[in-house]
Structure 1
């Protein structure tokens, strides 16, 4: 992982709950790479359909720039217009803020991220989530 990519993992979708909203589903997924990390994330399934047993490659990055430089001066809506970014390798991208951490069971921590009302919750070992901090991040996903 580069310094720009704070977290990267592959998850297997265990459950897709679309009972509450028409176009948004809450995805429950488990890390496939031997870490006991679980992820719950709200996804606009009209834009990015997800089903149980899908495998999702997920990354959290500070910037979409290929060189890892911050894109603060552009504003998130203008990032990547007319230039190559790491988002080109992914199917679904959101911008949000890591806003809370909690202690979990044993050595686990819980990380909460908001993407403009769509929420994400990661629960996993401290050593795999330690790079995350209160900051703005990009969520990048692909199947």
Structure 2
């Protein structure tokens, strides 16, 4: 089995835009090493955020702790989790499942940008190709915690 975490880093929230929708805000964040940035639409009713907060963001291919493919059938899909069974979601406060729909060259040389839609809540992440290249998959889980 493989490691289900494709990308993980710690970020600081630099800006919050909550003007367009009642229960959704768009947060902009910068990693602690200043190499990676992301913009994410967050359900602010479920997961309130404030500028200056530090958050941990992870993107994973599966919620299974052993990296087992959920689409292989049988037990393991996120909806089939049994009572008391542990998943990656247990370690995080905010979890979404979405479709990776676009890749581009990044804002600077050696960077790439990845776009993911979580049912209309969008993620744009820009950073070094080496850190983001594992995200060249069809679907991903977003996991965040403060």
Q: Identify the TM-score tier after normalising by the shorter chain.
A: over 0.9
Quote how far apart the aligned CAs of 1:35 are.
4.7
Q: Distance in 1 between matches of 2:143 and 2:82?
A: 17
**Cα deviation per residue 1:31-70 (whole Å; 9 max; x = unaligned)?**
11x2511100000010000110011101001111111101
The alpha-carbon deviation at position 3 of structure 1 amounts to: 2.7
Alignment equivalent of 1:106, drawn from 92, 104, 109: 109
Q: Secondary structure at the match of 1:78?
A: helix
**What are structure 1's unaligned runs of at least 5 residues?**
none
Tell me the equivalent position of 1:19.
19
- What is the DSSP-based 3-state SS (H/G/I as helix, E as strand, rest coil) of the residue aligned with 1:28? strand
In structure 1, C-alpha distance between the alignment counterparts of 2:43 and 2:35, rounded to whole Å: 26
TM-score normalised to structure 1 length = 0.92
Structure-to-structure mapping, 1:84-95, within 5 angstroms: 84-95=86-97
**Which piece of structure 1 moves more, 130-139 or 79-88?**
79-88
> Is contact 2:4–2:65 with CA below 8 Å preserved after alignment?
no
Following superposition, the deviation at residue 79 of structure 1 comes to 4.5
- Aligned residues of 2:25 and 2:44 also touching (Cα < 8 A): yes
Hey, what's the Cα distance between the residues in 2 that align with 1:43 and 1:79? 25
State the SS of the aligned residue for 2:100: strand
Give the 5 Å matches for 1:1-143: 3-32=3-32, 34-72=33-71, 73=73, 78-82=79-83, 83-104=85-106, 105-143=108-146
Q: What are the ranges of 5 or more consecutive residues in structure 2 without an aligned counterpart?
A: none
Q: CA deviation at 1:111?
A: 0.5
Aligned length: 141
